[in-house]
Amino acid sequence: MRSIIAGALVVGLLAGTAAAEIESRSQSGFVVAYEADLAIPPQDAYAKWLQIGGWWSPVHTYSGDSKNLSITPDPGGCWCEALKDGGFVVHLRVVSAQPGKALLFSGGLGPLAYMGVAGSMVVEFKATATGTHVTLRYAVGGYDPSNFAALPAAVDGVLGEGFQRYAAFAAQP
């Protein structure tokens, strides 16, 4: 299990950041944020977010195949990954779904799931004159023996890449 965590951190540290920012950090947590303007209506931008298997990098999965990812925007829903032999990973829980407006998730992505942290991710879709302004904000707090020295950059790398891939995917017809 430690090799999975270490590997995920290394991959995260090597990943580039795009349209991203470490908004804040402290010894007890951090916040990363991303934004993009899309030339599609909010309902479509929301629907494209739910098609996570089409845009998330397979490098940042446990199964090695992003097609195994799904987001179920229902009560008790999750951002989940199917594993072979009937296994699964719950990456985040869906706390609120407002089609065309917002998604709220709770939990720790990747190696954060193995730590004493809590995370809250909000993805908002706001109508603009030319389409939709999408923002993602992920706040993480709790205990990290290294006082969150390396984790913000690792999470920023993975989510920044994911958000960039989402924006490119959403731009496709």
DSSP code at position 59: G
Q: Confidence band (pLDDT; 50, 70, 90) for 173?
A: confident
Q: Confidence band (pLDDT; 50, 70, 90) for 91?
A: very high
Q: How far apart are CA 35 and CA 66, in angstroms?
A: 22
pLDDT(111) > 90: no
Q: What are phi and psi of 71, to 5 degrees?
A: -125, 125
- Report the CATH number at residue 140: 3.30.530.20
Q: Tell me the residue range of the domain where 102 lies.
A: 2-170
Domains held by the chain: number: 1
Q: How far apart are CA 80 and CA 72, in angstroms?
A: 8
Q: What is the arithmetic mean of pLDDT over 75-91? A: 96
According to the model, what pLDDT value does residue 20 have? 64
